[in-house]
Amino acid sequence: MEENIITDVPSPSVCSNCQIRAIDTRYASPLCDECRQKFIQYPIPNWIKIFGAGVALVLCFALIRLPSQLSTGVHLEKGKNAIKDHRFKTAQKELKLALTNIPNSQEAQGYLMISSFHNLDFGEFTKMFDKLKNQTFEDNELLNQINDVSEKMMDYFPSDSLQALVNEYDGTFDSVPITKLEEYASGHPEDVFAHYQLADRYYYKDNYQKADTLATHVLQIKTDYLPALRIMCGIKRYEGDAEASIKYCNQILKMNQENVFALSNKARSLLKLHKDKEALELARTTHEIDNYDGYTLATLCLAYHFNGKEKERDELIERSKKDSATAFFFEYAIDVINKKESFR
């Protein structure tokens, strides 16, 4: 007897759901139009709706945060790269921007501490030091750099014995008689801070020869001691050796390309050498780095004066009158302009 052929397998031309109506050939799924509409209108369970809403919320939050996170990463990398290039003004600016979004970042705090040291920003340095002093570091390279600047910073403050001398008076170096500082420095030949303080005292008394001797002694002990290098820039120019002044400026700039004090001193020494156009270009570049620093503005004023740009010069003088701190630096520049002070 012949076996029956199985007849209950749905035909490809019949809807796979109702197995009655013909499929809608416009779509890949084998459904008729009526069944397709029924599945489309099938109620979605609430848990799926809630889950979908949660995913959408997380995605929206991530998209909102993404630009900020990318910006933070960019600022951090810019700061680190600026440190590698010895551009510490830029580094400090970028790292502070990074820390606005990642205030507890050990990496950003560490590099900010390093850049603030090179900018002689002791307030920022101390702030970062307090945050990092009890932390453990996995980045040994960063830790070594932090330890290096921390050790160097010790020479920027008085030793206990020197502080004891200062405390015998009213607690300020200006109150200590110069003979007492001389006596102390003579008995402590390795104390670079004491010798620098004495050099600074002679510098402001216009005794450039003694200031030169003391600052030179400091630099024989610590070749990169920034305060001594700074004072030598001025000493050499006032001694009439503008070329030597530029040499000391360049030594500072090798350490920090954006040291506006060294840049301004170099511009003034170039003016001494009658290299007026070169001095003006440098003064303008320095102003772009820091357009609020009083010494920088006064230097630009002098550069305008010797380049015959009286309008720009006078605008800076008027601007200086609105800020007492800036006006102090302009006193010398105005005396030079009015020929009360001999410049060259």
Successive 10-residue mean pLDDT values, the chain, 344 residues: 44 69 71 70 55 54 47 85 97 96 94 97 96 93 96 95 94 91 97 97 96 98 97 96 98 98 98 98 97 96 98 96 93 96 92
* Residues, the chain: 344
Phi, psi of 22 (to 5 degrees): -70, 145
The pTM of this model reads 0.78
The predicted pLDDT at position 278 comes to 98
**CATH fold label, 67-154:** 1.25.40
Local structure of 43: helix, strand or coil? coil
The predicted pLDDT at position 46 comes to 58
Of 281, 339, 337, 291, nearest to 314 (Cα)?
337
Give the separation between CA 218 and CA 153, rounded to whole angstroms. 15
Hey, what are 331's tokens? 């006193």
Phi, psi of 8 (to 5 degrees): -95, 10
Hey, what are 233's tokens? 């820039």
Of 292, 293, 294, nearest to 330 (Cα)?
294
The predicted pLDDT at position 121 comes to 96
Give the separation between CA 316 and CA 298, rounded to whole angstroms. 8
The predicted pLDDT at position 151 comes to 95
**One-character DSSP codes across 309-343:** -HHHHHHHHHHHTT-HHHHHHHHHHHHHHTTSS--
- Asked: is 157-257 a CATH 1.25.40.10 domain? The reply is yes
Helical H segments across 239-275, by residue range: 242-255, 260-272
The predicted pLDDT at position 7 comes to 44
**Where exactly are the structural domains of the chain?**
67-154, 157-257, 259-344
Give the separation between CA 337 and CA 301, rounded to whole angstroms. 9
CA distances for 292 relative to 61, 90, 316, 323, angstroms: 39, 15, 11, 10
Do domains 67-154 and 157-257 share one topology? The answer is yes
